[in-house]
């Protein structure tokens, strides 16, 4: 993942998805806006469920040159032909994971609102760090990230920064000069028309 002048969209799957219908739905959504990375984020811990979901969406993502990472399940990255893993614990064991998965795997770490955790993750080899939520959200412990942290990070740290949790068009406009990626998930999947909702977010980034 690389930062560009404008932030990019980092799409998160629903926690529960229908593997029969979701690939087509995902295809239509991805054709509406440029997406840099897709995160498979399932509530199920059943390996068979996760494998079927990964198989169902991997070709959709890779056909569009979109990296596919999985949330938490590091042991499944190689087995399922994925591009990396998103860690939800601030990036513990990142150094060992880098050795295990190799230099080409994407390693990301959710750091909630903690600058210290983000810096530790970066020093341990994270390809990106994620902060959030940016508004009222069930993400993390509920505490919202300080925009000043994002501004400081963008000025001082080269590691790309993702924000997630409670993304709106207004938030996109207010933070576009401070972040590299907006992670969007429930914000579109809970909408009546996910395609148009994502298109709206993309327009906000480009406005």
The number of angstroms, rounded, from the C-alpha of 181 to the middle of its chain's C-alpha atoms is: 8
Domain boundaries, the chain: 8-206
Give the dihedral of Cα atoms 139, 18, 11, 186; nearest 10 deg: -40
CA distances from 47 to 34, 36, 114 (A): 30, 26, 31
Q: Which two tokens mark 3?
A: 């930062």
CB count, 10 Å around CB of 2?
9
pLDDT in tens, 57-115: 999 999 999 999 999 999 999 999 999 999 999 988 999 999 999 999 999 999 999 99
What is this structure's pTM?
Answer: 0.94
What CATH number matches the domain at 8-206, 3.20.20.70, 3.40.50.1700, 3.40.47.10, 3.40.50.880? 3.20.20.70
Please say if the pLDDT value at position 198 is more than 80.
Answer: yes
């Amino acid at each position: 993942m690389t930062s560009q002048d404008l932030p990019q969209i980092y799409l998160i799957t629903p926690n529960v998805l229908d593997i029969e219908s979701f690939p087509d739905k995902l295809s239509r959504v991805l054709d509406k806006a440029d997406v840099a990375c897709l995160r498979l984020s399932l509530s199920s811990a059943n390996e068979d469920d996760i494998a079927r979901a990964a198989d169902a969406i991997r070709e959709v993502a890779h056909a569009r040159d979109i990296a596919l990472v999985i949330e938490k399940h590091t042991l499944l990255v190689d087995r399922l032909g994925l591009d990396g893993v998103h860690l939800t614990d601030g990036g513990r064991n990142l150094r060992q994971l880098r050795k295990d998965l190799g230099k080409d795997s994407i390693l990301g770490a959710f750091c909630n609102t903690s600058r210290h955790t983000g810096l530790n993750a970066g020093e341990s080899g994270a390809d990106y760090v994620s902060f959030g939520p940016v508004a009222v959200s069930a993400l993390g412990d509920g505490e919202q990230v300080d925009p000043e942290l994002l501004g400081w990070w963008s000025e001082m740290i080269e590691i790309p920064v993702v924000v997630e949790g409670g993304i709106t068009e207004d938030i996109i406009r207010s933070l576009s000069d401070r972040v590299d990626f907006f992670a969007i998930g429930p914000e579109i999947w809970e909408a009546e028309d996910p395609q148009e909702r994502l298109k709206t977010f993309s327009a906000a980034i480009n406005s």
